[in-house]
Structure 1
Amino acid sequence: MTAPEAQSLRTSAPRRATGTGRLPVVAVVAVGGGIGAAARYGASLGWPTHSGGFPWTVFWVNVVGCAVIGVFLVLVTEALTVHRLVRPFFGTGVLGGFTTFSTYAVDIQRLVDEGRPGTALAYLAATLFAALAAVWLAATATRRLLTWRQP
Structure 2
Amino acid sequence: MKTILYIALGGALGSVLRYLTSIIIKANPFPYATFVTNIVGCLLIGLFFGYFEKQNLLSQDLKLFLITGFCGGYTTFSTFSLENIQLMQNNQMFTAVLYMTLSIILGVMATWVGLNLAKAL
TM-score (norm 2): 0.59
d(CA) in 2 for partners of 1:26 and 1:41? 22
Identity %: 31
User: Equivalent residue for 2:32?
Assistant: 56
How many residues align structurally?
83
d(CA) in 1 for partners of 2:76 and 2:45? 14
Give RMSD over aligned pairs: 2.4
Structure 2 unaligned segments of length 5 or more: list them: 78-103, 116-121
Match of 1:43 among 16, 21, 35: 21
Q: CA deviation at 1:57?
A: 0.8
Q: CA deviation at 1:82?
A: 4.9
Does the 8 A contact of 1:58 with 1:100 survive in 2?
no
1:93 corresponds to 2:75: no
Which of the two has higher C-alpha Rg? 1
d(CA) in 1 for partners of 2:21 and 2:6? 23
Runs (4+) of structure 1 moved beyond 6 Å? none
Select the structure that is richer in helix: 2
d(CA) in 2 for partners of 1:60 and 1:87? 23
Q: CA deviation at 1:83?
A: 2.6
User: Equivalent residue for 1:32?
Assistant: 10
